[in-house]
A and B are shown apart, each in its own frame.
Chain A
């Protein structure tokens, strides 16, 4: 981390979600000097708390033509530039007996006018393609949906920004926006690690903080009408489906089942919540019950599949400026030049939109930044692959297929997670190959790589980089091992114990709403180990 407080950046970007990281990358690629700041870690807001669906746009085709067209365009771009973050598994829009089959033709028409290819599939064939689908379906349409790993996507953007000279500060929270009369010229940050404040200066401050941008704007003295919409999701213990399953009807609760890495997830519910609740969202009993009830309609086997976690994300909805009530909500991309809107120079806000359009949002924001800075450079983010998505390394492919290769699981997993950057993970001897996380096949080498190169401050960050603790046991075996390794690299054992306790608390937050069956057995066991045998307490220092 290259902290240069005296330097004046061209642009300071607030928010380490996909949009912020994407904007940082775009700005850096156009030769700007960039500081990206994030109060926690990458992808901790809405970016990391959604379906991980690589939308084809089909879901919006009937209701929102513009979003649909944006999605399919970005979908095709991501396949090119982010292949290690996505899976091209296609999707099915299923019509159940309770749905109106007439909607299907309307849907297909809308898709084709938005440029989304569709194929109507005989239900029997659809069931062969996707055996987990509800056998009662009366209609099926194939669309180019897929899965995207938002953590990897965001990290790759941040990594590329860094490679191109951007400075990145995580665990740095904006506590004030610095102004010189009618001009924003920097930010004041609170460093959560060192517990100290510092000022950073930039010509432009870009607010890409998602729903938290509401508060950022207030620091700058401007008002944005944001309405947080909470969406809850459930993660199931393994992959039930290979293709994305959607309900072929107007968007409603729990009508998308997405396979992603080792798991699959169903979502979402949608509920407007007060802005005060955005930092403390719990998934209610009713949310869980709705998700299961509706999810089972898409894939009946979900009824008997273990649920690993429940979580909720919050989508930043922005009300039109002339409508403070929030009735007319835009779901599209919102780019605000506060000079034009509020007479405040040097400050822009990029918000709304969705994970799928993060790159487009970044492009639009960067275009505006460049215009303001009078820089004339074209956007290249749609053409140049992200780090990790360059042509994949053949030798890694070979290794994973080698018969009797007992390290196959960790090596193949590493390749899935880091793409061509997997070559940076040391391997080949037992000091690096041993597994830290047995559920997800994370090796010591991978953990060390993440700690050294991927901005890991704590165990929770490490989880987002490597999937440590994201498996069936939710950290029961691996948390302590990973804590040990992290502790070695940071040489602050006391802090590492707190970190371990925080990690278990964070895992529990997702487990408690669904803690029955094996989950309650597992958590009892985990508590016995950590609290009973190890004597771990919430505050160890």
Chain B
């Protein structure tokens, strides 16, 4: 089967790359070995939250201080600003409503009740300009009875720092009786499925309005709008007070909606999205990747002019660790990482872990290296790239979006 471009990995990088290429008329396929890490999306795309241990206010400016092998530096700081605009527009064209700008971080409130700098935030969530003030004085935190994945006391504790008087209240609704009976399934996505049916939202809003009497803001877990894209807006219409949604334990409801939105955009542009399939091997000739073989399709191989590896980090098995080595499991590409496992870790979990920096080696054009030589038509994008600790930097989404747009541009040249 012949495509112009094949992307391995159906997460944020893979979809961004696929949408960009498909928008330019390329016939693209995405092979995804399962649902992606967008399912754990906090609701905000980070660009750069911290650099050299310092909190960042202007990501574009602070990028200058990053090490030379950082993906942003390798993309080229001259291109970054334009790519951030492209990324924003691509996401908006796909149907996401986002707030934020690349030259000035805004803040979102985390479920621990602390402000975190970020770049683009879904309109479901609330963006704050200041990290040390909170626009409301009296907050009511509403949770659903029996829902263990929303930690109201932590939020309340966090809000104390802003001199906010917060009160925790619980809402019971008969719509959740069924899932509550199941001891493991009172999960955010299952609550969201009930709200997706629309009839629950009216009743909930009424209860919330009564309970929020005398408060300035209603804080809720982000369990609105899984497959139904209009519910989060309807909720905000029906609740009389401002609504502040906070992430619950993943899978994330707005995250899954984001994944679906991007995937649908890709498919509407004619892209082929192959879910639940694994690329098992590639056929190489003269430094080029000719075709790939997948588990589902066997002898019907997929050919393409260019390939993009966007297979993610350890969690997504883009790279694999065993007791004595690190490897890239599809093609056996070169890895930028220490082979001695004692070097992978710091014994303190909250320290910078070396393994978080590991990834596939590439040349300056982000083409994968195999035995030291670049594969001419195999580009690498997203978190399978090494050179940064996205968790410590708050740069994961930015790296995914910008490196995949960069790869797409190389292909479109």
Binding site for B on A (CB under 8 A): 282, 285, 288-289, 292, 406-407, 409-410, 430-431, 433-436, 438, 443-444, 477, 480-481, 483-485, 487-488, 493-494, 496-497, 501, 504-505, 507-509, 512, 515-517, 520-521, 523-525, 527-529, 531-538, 540
B111, B153, B313, B323 — most chain A CB neighbours (10 Å): B153
Q: How far is A434 from B145 in the complex, measured between Cα atoms in Å?
A: 11
Q: How far is A538 from B40 in the complex, measured between Cα atoms in Å?
A: 22
Chain A residues within 8 Å of B242, by CB: none
Which residues of B, 175-200, contact A by the 8 Å Cβ criterion?
180-184, 186
Interface bits B251-281 vs A (CB < 8 Å: 1, else 0): 0100000000000000000000000000000
CB atoms of A434 and B356 under 8 A apart: no
Chain A residues within 8 Å of B116, by CB: 535
Which residues of B, 203-260, contact A by the 8 Å Cβ criterion?
247, 249-250, 252
The 10 closest A-B pairs by CB, nearest first: A493-B157, A535-B110, A508-B349, A516-B321, A538-B350, A430-B180, A481-B148, A493-B153, A533-B42, A487-B153
- Distance between A520 CB and nearest chain B CB, rounded to angstroms: 5
- Distance between A275 CB and nearest chain B CB, rounded to angstroms: 21
With contact pairs A438-B184, A505-B350, A535-B116 given, residues A521 and B314 touching in the complex (Cβ less than 8 Å):
yes
- Distance between A207 CB and nearest chain B CB, rounded to angstroms: 31
A485, A529, A533 — most chain B CB neighbours (10 Å): A533
CB atoms of A434 and B186 under 8 A apart: yes
CB atoms of B148 and A487 under 8 A apart: no
Q: How far is A434 from B342 in the complex, measured between Cα atoms in Å?
A: 39
Say yes or no for B63: interface residue by CB 8 A criterion. Answer: no
CB atoms of B153 and A484 under 8 A apart: yes
Interface residues on B, range: 35 or more
Chain A residue nearest to B186 (CB atoms) is A434
- Distance between A249 CB and nearest chain B CB, rounded to angstroms: 26
CB atoms of B349 and A532 under 8 A apart: no
Chain A residues within 8 Å of B156, by CB: 493
With contact pairs A434-B148, A516-B321, A520-B314 given, residues A533 and B40 touching in the complex (Cβ less than 8 Å):
yes
Chain A residues within 8 Å of B350, by CB: 501, 505, 531, 537-538
- Distance between B159 CB and nearest chain A CB, rounded to angstroms: 10
Chain B residue nearest to A536 (CB atoms) is B112
Binding site for A on B (CB under 8 A): 37, 40, 42, 110-112, 114, 116, 145-146, 148-149, 151-154, 156-157, 180-184, 186, 247, 249-250, 252, 313-315, 317, 320-323, 341-342, 344-345, 347-350, 353, 355-356, 391, 396
CB atoms of B250 and A515 under 8 A apart: no
Chain B residues within 8 Å of A430, by CB: 146, 180-181, 183, 186
Chain A residues within 8 Å of B152, by CB: 484
Chain A residues within 8 Å of B321, by CB: 515-517, 520
- Distance between B317 CB and nearest chain A CB, rounded to angstroms: 7
CB atoms of B148 and A534 under 8 A apart: no
Q: How far is A535 from B43 in the complex, measured between Cα atoms in Å?
A: 14
Chain A residue nearest to B182 (CB atoms) is A406
Chain A residues within 8 Å of B146, by CB: 430-431, 434
Chain B residue nearest to A485 (CB atoms) is B148
CB atoms of B148 and A436 under 8 A apart: yes
CB atoms of B249 and A529 under 8 A apart: yes
Chain A residues within 8 Å of B184, by CB: 434-435, 438
Q: How far is A438 from B149 in the complex, measured between Cα atoms in Å?
A: 13
- Distance between B396 CB and nearest chain A CB, rounded to angstroms: 7
- Distance between A282 CB and nearest chain B CB, rounded to angstroms: 7
CB atoms of B40 and A434 under 8 A apart: no
Q: List 7 A-B contacts (CB under 8 A).
A: A443-B183, A481-B149, A484-B148, A505-B348, A516-B323, A517-B320, A524-B355
